[in-house]
Amino acid sequence: MKKLGFLTFGQHSDFPGSPTQTPRDALRQTIDLAVAAEELGFDAAFIRVHHYSRQLISPFPLLAALAARTSTIDLGTGVIDMRYENPLYMSEEAAVTDLLSDGRLQLGLGRGSPESALQGYQSFGFIPADGETDVELAREHTAIFRYAIAGNPVATANPATTDWDGPICIEPQSEGLAKRIWWGSGTRESARWCGEQGMNLMSSTLLTEDTGGVPSDVQAEHIRIFRRAWTDAGHTHAPRVAVTRSIIPISSEMDRNVWGELADAASVDSVGDLDGRASRFGRRYIGDVGRIIADLSADAAVGEADTILLDIPALQTLDFNVNLLSSVINEVAPALDWR
């Protein structure tokens, strides 16, 4: 059994024919898609966070809106770039959102991917110390955030207003949230670090190191590294692993007209350069349902994961995305014993 969710970037564009012309359109479509996914039986709705882009950006207002319109589906991020975050303010926002959702928040954090702005997090006021890398900055913010949501004191009380001069914690607190934090990993080192820290592992279709191996096999290796590190660190709760996959079944003539020419090209992995690092982009699963089922059954990382997140295609209509989710959960998932 696997949990099924979706991950959307929430792009918007004002080009003619775009179904999401404005940021409001993208936000509304994301809410409606989560409602539809819950009705279809999906377990999770995740949103991507990209700054300085025509995509979803500020996650907590949207997650709170999703919480108000749904009742069972988990709500998450994949991932929040911690270089940009004030960790104590974020701990308040996260706790409030988790309480509003009755404990359904699954927060994916990370160093993030290259953004539209050059070192944009510095414009937000977060500048690495001398000799500190942006990865270390993200991990430092993450450590402060996790410390705060675990109920540890982060300030000293004002005795003039509280009759207390001892340590105080961030309010509110949301019980259990600390165990529902994920880390977006793209390398073996970060997978190991994630396991040591006791965060759940999130792996996308992008690996920020190129070992020359098949990405799904490399991801499976990351997952095994993560689990060994988790066990060696002595964490007592069960670890979770999510992988993202682009899955587009072609089941109608309309699908074939839109996606048919991409089916063969999508089955090939690609190598590129991100921030000066050789990176490997995993294949997409586009084609007839039978072919997709056969290919996914051989995907080592999918086999290792407990959660599969479907990457929602950019700038498609709500009806298209709902039909895509329906096809995956009703045709693909049962054949793979995911449900």
If 0-12 CB within 10 Å is exposed, 13-18 middle and 19+ buried, where does residue 133 land? exposed
Q: Which residues contact 61 (CB under 8 A, 6 or more apart)?
A: none
- Residues spanned by the domain of 36: 3-335
Q: Which has the higher per-residue pLDDT, 208 or 328?
A: 328
pLDDT at 68: 98
Residue at token pair 């007209």: 257
The lowest-confidence range among 90-94, 105-109, 203-207 is 203-207
pLDDT band at 76 (very low <50, low <70, confident <90, very high): very high
Q: Could you tell me the CATH number of the domain that includes residue 66?
A: 3.20.20.30
How many structural domains comprise the chain? Answer: 1
Between CA 90 and CA 141 the distance in angstroms is 10
pLDDT at 289: 93
Q: What is the DSSP letter of 139?
A: H
Give pTM, 2 decimals. 0.93
Q: Which residues contact 210 (CB under 8 A, 6 or more apart)?
A: 271, 278, 279, 280
Between CA 178 and CA 106 the distance in angstroms is 10
Which stretches of 40-104 are assigned E, i.e. beta strand?
44-47, 74-81
pLDDT at 255: 74
Measure the CA angle with vertex 35, ends 32 and 40; round to 5°. Answer: 125
CA–centroid distance for 117 within its chain? 21
Between CA 201 and CA 152 the distance in angstroms is 24
On whether the CB atoms of residues 49 and 11 are closer than 8 A, the answer is no
Residue 107 has pLDDT above 90, yes or no: yes
Q: For the segment 209-239, what is each residue's pLDDT rounded down to a tens digit?
A: 767 778 899 999 999 999 999 999 999 999 9
Between CA 192 and CA 188 the distance in angstroms is 6
Q: What is the DSSP letter of 239?
A: P
Between CA 255 and CA 272 the distance in angstroms is 28
Amino acid at 34: A
pLDDT at 215: 84
% of the chain exceeding 70 in pLDDT:
93
- Kindly give the interhelix angle for 87-100 and 134-149, rounded to the nearest 10 degrees: 50
Q: Which has the higher per-residue pLDDT, 326 or 1?
A: 326
Residues listed for the chain: 339
On whether the CB atoms of residues 129 and 208 are closer than 8 A, the answer is no
Q: Which residues contact 291 (CB under 8 A, 6 or more apart)?
A: none
On whether the CB atoms of residues 181 and 78 are closer than 8 A, the answer is no
Q: What does pLDDT average to over the chain?
A: 92
Q: Which has the higher per-residue pLDDT, 106 or 264?
A: 106
Q: Which residues contact 209 (CB under 8 A, 6 or more apart)?
A: 186, 187, 188, 277, 278, 279, 280
Ramachandran angles phi, psi of 153, nearest 5°: -70, 140
Between CA 49 and CA 77 the distance in angstroms is 7
Q: Which has the higher per-residue pLDDT, 300 or 273?
A: 300
Q: Which residues contact 26 (CB under 8 A, 6 or more apart)?
A: 10, 11, 12, 20, 55, 56
β-bridge mates for residue 56, sequence order: none
Residue 8 has pLDDT above 90, yes or no: yes
pLDDT band at 274 (very low <50, low <70, confident <90, very high): low
The lowest-confidence range among 37-51, 244-258, 319-333 is 244-258
Give the H or E element holding residue 307. Answer: strand 307-311
Instruction: Give the helix, strand, coil percentages of the chain, each rounded to 5.
Output: 45, 20, 35
Residue at token pair 């050059």: 118
